[in-house]
A and B are shown apart, each in its own frame.
Chain A
Amino acid sequence: MNTKNQLWCTWSGIAFAILFTVGFWPISHFMPPPSPTMSAAEVAGMYSANTNQIRFGLLVMMGASGLILPFTAAIAAQMKRMEDAPSILTYLQLASGTLGAVFFIVPCVLWSVAAFRPERAPDLIHLMNDAGWMLFLMPFTTFIVQNFAIGIAVLGDKSAQPVFPRWLGFFNFWVAVLFVPGGLLTFFKTGPFAWNGLMAFWVPFVVFFTWYIVMFVFMRKGILAQAAGRPA
């Protein structure tokens, strides 16, 4: 049994959360997000004022996002212990978690395109900035599929000593619900459903990283219990 590898993969989720936040917040200054109401000139001004800082922050964020993959694989390894063959929810989680990483990596590239030639026409920078933020916060679907796959597997774990506590399954359903409002940002430039608003940004952002910490704690517990050959 690869206890060591499993633990490394689990810790990589924490590394992702920290590195991504550092790139996003203190380096790129993308926190709080630039308002969707900013004009093309204002957005272009933001990219030309902090060009290299934004480039470097995005590089850190993009690099950090690769760490989503080992974390997703570690979740799959624990889920496989909950499920009877064929472990379809495990596969579903692996697929949706992997696809989810795309929505962290590709926005970083789009924002990098905006920062690549900050002297170009402001309208084009405006467009690329919109594309980055919308790709980053709007696609809730893969995350919901991932959370539901985990939640259903946890509740379906009928062994006498389940891998995860049952409430963690309901917690995953709750997290899924909180990602839905992000999809509404396509209608709004101000208010709680705009991409810098309470329901489209702040709540999903906080909940997403809380989910990483909570999952980390119980995955680590589950892996150590598995290694010791005792129930979690």
Chain B
Amino acid sequence: MANMAAAQSDEHIPGEAGVWVFILGDMVVFALLFGAFVYYRAADVPLFASAQLSLNQSLGALNTLLLLTSSWFVVHGVEAVRARRAALARGMLAAAFACGVGFMLVKYFEYGEKLRAGFTITSNDFFMYYYLLTGIHLLHVTIGMAVLAYLWQRLRSANDIDAQLSAVESGASFWHMVDILWILLFALVYMMR
């Protein structure tokens, strides 16, 4: 791959430079969304604070743990590719993918709990942001899992593992972004008093 030379220079950017256009751009979008949340929260703090009490912080914390663990696996997956251990790398990516599945299951139960309690996207402003922010984030988790599966497949069929490093680093960078955004989202929506 043409960008391998760049990937091994002294000023190392993980993955190919272009993927950072997407990652930084996506973080700008979330910054706008978080900004909108904080802005509208400031306009009606009592509503947001009381609605927040009906969120399940344990499930939110469990999801934080799952994503942090998945990032740990992804880091070790990248290390394994650097050490040319394809089987180990695939195992690490599969474990990260499994954490993603766990995240989705937790979200499924969490949404179910909220909907049964009668909280929908139109209940009030807090729940509008709750569903939209977590929903848009969940979409990113889904995209990230598709990327992990794609990398897993690439590592299985590739003859030259060194040539996979740039793609694996790019995908890993995206996955870490999904993780970081969740931590911010968890702090803002579930925890901020």
Q: List 27 A-B contacts (CB under 8 A).
A: A160-B2, A166-B3, A166-B16, A166-B18, A167-B17, A167-B21, A170-B19, A170-B20, A170-B21, A170-B22, A171-B21, A171-B22, A171-B25, A173-B22, A174-B25, A174-B26, A177-B26, A177-B29, A180-B136, A181-B136, A187-B128, A188-B128, A191-B36, A191-B128, A192-B32, A192-B36, A203-B32
A191 touching B21, Cβ below 8 Å? no
A145-180 Cβ-contact flags toward B at 8 Å (1 or 0): 000000000000000100001111111011001101
Query: In the complex, which residues 32-58 of chain B have their Cβ closer than 8 Å to any Cβ of chain A?
Result: 32-33, 36, 40
A160 to B125, CA, bound (A): 52
Number of B interface residues, CB 8 Å? Answer: 22
A191 touching B125, Cβ below 8 Å? yes
Taking the nearest CB of chain B, how far is it from the CB of A140, in angstroms?
13
B18 touching A165, Cβ below 8 Å? yes
The 10 A-B residue pairs with the shortest CB-CB distance in the complex, in nearest-first order:
A167-B18, A174-B25, A170-B22, A166-B18, A192-B36, A170-B18, A170-B21, A167-B21, A174-B22, A171-B21
Q: Which of A169, A193, A203 contacts B132 (CB 8 A)?
A: A193
Q: Does A215 contact B (CB under 8 A)?
A: no
A171 to B24, CA, bound (A): 10
Taking the nearest CB of chain B, how far is it from the CB of A56, in angstroms?
34
Q: Does B122 contact A (CB under 8 A)?
A: yes
Number of A-B contacts (CB under 8 A): 52
B122 touching A199, Cβ below 8 Å? no
B interface list, Cβ under 8 A from A:
2-3, 16-22, 25-26, 29, 32-33, 36, 40, 121-122, 125, 128, 132, 136
Q: Which residues of B contact A166 (CB under 8 A)?
A: 3, 16-18
Q: Which residues of A contact B136 (CB under 8 A)?
A: 180-181
B121 touching A187, Cβ below 8 Å? yes
A174 to B177, CA, bound (A): 14
Q: Does A198 contact B (CB under 8 A)?
A: yes
Query: In the complex, which residues 181-195 of chain A have their Cβ closer than 8 Å to any Cβ of chain B?
Result: 181, 184, 187-188, 191-193
Q: Which residues of A contact B18 (CB under 8 A)?
A: 165-170
Q: Which residues of A contact B122 (CB under 8 A)?
A: 187
Q: Which of B2, B22, B36, B132 contacts A184 (CB 8 A)?
A: B132
Q: Which residues of B contact A167 (CB under 8 A)?
A: 17-18, 21
